[in-house]
Amino acid sequence: MPDQPSYLNFDNGKYAWKPDIDYREHPDQYRVGKGEQGVLICEPYKSEIGQYWRFKTEAIAKESSLKIYEIFSAYLADGDFVGADMARKYLQMGFTRARRYANYKGGKKYDQENNYRQLEKGTGDDEKARAAAVFFSSWKKAEANEHYARLKKQWKHERG
């Protein structure tokens, strides 16, 4: 069924990111992947960045995205591409999750009780739309960083 969420048939064994790897100690194990893949798994970055990730209101999103962008910049300055990429992923996830709450009441896109039918869009929270816009701006700023873009291209070419 094409409308069902992808997590229903998720295969952990085939997932490139593993919770038992320290990606600072073993950066060679890290893959950039698509979008936000691995963001809630890759330690120690998950713990370092995730504690600042918030999007409840526009003001909270501003504070959160500024802090995460600072972390992104610090990782770049330290030559830690994996950390920078993880921070970029948190910025992207701030956008996508806030948009989910902006589009769907309670952030629920699928009706589990009704064969995972997609729920009506446009029932969400306008405050979350403003929070999403904040994260979108920070995410795009990170992606446009020339140093980061160069490192990402090189990393993907060499490691995937």
Domain limits of the chain? 21-158
The answer to whether 45 and 23 have CB atoms below 8 angstroms apart is yes
pTM of the predicted protein model: 0.87
Q: Give the pLDDT confidence of 33-85 residue by residue, as tens digits.
A: 888 999 999 999 999 999 999 999 999 999 999 999 999 999 999 999 999 99
Cα separations (Å) of 110 from 2, 56, 67? 12, 21, 32
- The answer, yes or no, to whether residue 107 has pLDDT greater than 60, is yes
Residues across the chain: 160
137-155 average pLDDT score: 97
The answer to whether 39 and 46 have CB atoms below 8 angstroms apart is yes
119-144 average pLDDT score: 89
- Write down the mean pLDDT value for the chain: 89
